[in-house]
Amino acid sequence: MKILNDPMIAKLIETFDLEAPEQLVLNVCDYEYVDGKIIINSIEVLDGNLKFIKFADLQKVTPHINKYYTTFGNRTADTNKTNQAT
C-alpha cells in the first residue's frame, strides 16, 4: 500500500500512536463548560465502526481535533465542515 509509506501518513500515525484505521472518530467523552468555554478532559479514539480503540493523549490530539469527525457523548459534529463554514 503506497499511501502508508508516505512520510506525512507515517507522521500522522506516530502523532496518534496507533495503527492506521480507515477512518478515525474522536469522541469527547468527558468535558465541561467553564465561563462559556468547553474544557475537554478526555477523548476516546474510535474506529470507523465507532468501536473503541484507545484514549487519546490530549496534548497530541487537541491541535488536530478540527480535522476529524468528532462526537460529544452521543451528539455528532463534523468539526471539519463546521470550521470551514465559520
* pLDDT value of residue 54: 93
- pLDDT tens-digit readout, 21-69: 457 889 999 988 899 888 999 999 998 888 899 999 999 888 888 888 8
| Cα–Cα separations (whole angstroms), residue 46 to 14, 39, 54 | 17, 20, 7
**Region 73-81 average pLDDT:** 52
DSSP collapsed to 3 states, 45-57:
EECCCCCEEEECC
Residue 80 has pLDDT above 80, yes or no: no
Q: What is the pLDDT of residue 44?
A: 93
**pLDDT of amino acid 21:** 45
Eight-class DSSP state of 36: T
Is the Cβ–Cβ distance between 63 and 16 less than 8 Å?
A: no
Core vs surface per residue 31-49: b (16+ CB within 10 A) or e: eeeeeeeeebeebbbbeee
